[in-house]
Amino acid sequence: MGSCKALPVIPYYSAPHSPRRFIVLPGSINGLYHCHKRPLGKGSFRFGMNCMISKRLTPSMTALQCFEAAARHLSFTRAAEELHLTQSAVSKQVAQLEEMLCHNLFERVRQRLYLSPAGSLYLAEVHKILTQVDISSRYILTYGGETEVLRIATQPTFGDRWLVPKLKDFAAKHPNIHLDVRNELEPFDVLQAKADIAFFFGQGSWPGATCIELFREAVVPVCAPGFVPEGSDASSRHTLLQCTSRPEAWHEWFLEQGLHSQNSYHGPRFDTFYMCIRAAQSGYGVALVPQYLVAEELAQGSLMIPWDYAMPSSGAHFIAHAEHAGEIPKVNAFLNWMVEYTQAHPDF
């Protein structure tokens, strides 16, 4: 691209050590952006200092989507495939965005695409903007005048045994909010808006999310009645059922009591507590699980606690939502209900 006619500008500094900025004086062409680019070499360029910045920076959504997809894939071709555009269309959108911002957003090194420092900074902001637009659009989409949909992500066993039985109470108090509950085994980016609300176990740290602690738990060993001979101690060789989400659980349980077992990391492995519980009920081994998850089985006698030590877990159960979603009415209604419920039923 060539250079455009220079417009009168004055530099100013917004704060000490801040990037130099420019104000367009009267006479700018419809408040548009005008940059003069000087070639650096094949496949690259540098923007000159006579970049003209208007009062409002408003790139198109298409340009932002093209940049975000290209930055995520580090490929214009893959970005084009995702957005159902041509590679040249994506490249053109990014080039126009770079001209508007007067910065290179990408760099090519040995035929590979990388984000420039400015591109990395811009990507974080663009990601927040696109996520907020998506959340707002989904909110309007689910607003049917009288009913809305609240999407909830939860771990399978927690959802099945603790959360779902309680949702009837929320539905009775908020009949206009329909719940869409789904399992999520792996952590996900809460800013990607896969769910409005998410339950998780951990330390309460989730990038981009507001986390509220609901309750803490204690884990206990459980097995089928008669599986562990009466009087047999925990350090004896038994089949210990392992849950892959908490690989250190048995080791920590023995350590807390000053016991040593060469068997603490060995045994059949299962993805979820639900499978560990079912395996224990069948007589496959001893499972170490949160006590609240097996309260019903213990009361019915289908499971028993062979060694009477309940170990407090190092983490807690949290409810989380994207930082900018807390003021959405349906999200706020569920948060208030959940917090009130756990406070009113500390022992469930």
Dump the DSSP string for 14-57. SSTTPPPEEEEPTT-STT--B--EEEEETTEEEE-TT-B--S--
Q: Which CATH class is domain 9-138?
A: mainly alpha
More confident residue, 32 or 249: 249
For 74-125, how does the pLDDT look when each residue is reduced to its tens digit (9 = 90+)? Answer: 999 999 999 999 999 999 999 999 999 999 999 999 889 999 999 999 999 9
pLDDT in tens, 62-75: 999 999 999 999 99
Separation between Cα atoms, residue 134 and residue 19, nearest integer Å: 31
CA dihedral 319, 324, 329, 331 (to 10 degrees): -20
Banded pLDDT at 192 (limits 50, 70, 90): low
- pLDDT given for residue 41 in this prediction: 41
| Domain extent listing, the chain | 9-138, 142-216+316-344, 218-312
Select from 178, 138, 140, 68 the least CA-distant residue to 322.
Answer: 138
> What pLDDT, on the 0 to 100 scale, is given for residue 181?
93
Within this chain, domains 142-216+316-344 and 218-312 share the same CATH topology? yes
> What pLDDT score does 125 carry?
93
Q: Please give the pLDDT value at position 144.
A: 59
139 pLDDT exceeds 90?
no
Region of residue 193 (phi > 0: left; psi between -120 and 50: alpha; otherwise: beta): left
CATH fold for domain 142-216+316-344: D-Maltodextrin-Binding Protein; domain 2 (3.40.190)
**Amino acid present at 288:** L
Query: What's the pTM?
Result: 0.57
322-342 per-position pLDDT tens digit? 887 888 899 999 999 999 999
Q: Is the dihedral of CA 48, 49, 52, 55 positive or negative?
A: positive
Residues 252 and 288: beta-carbon distance below 8 Å: no
Average pLDDT over the chain reads: 82
For the segment(s) 218-312, the CATH number from 1.10.3720.10, 3.40.190.10, 3.10.20.90, 3.40.640.10 is 3.40.190.10
Tens-digit pLDDT profile for residues 146-173? 678 899 999 899 999 999 999 999 999 9
% of the chain exceeding 90 in pLDDT: 55
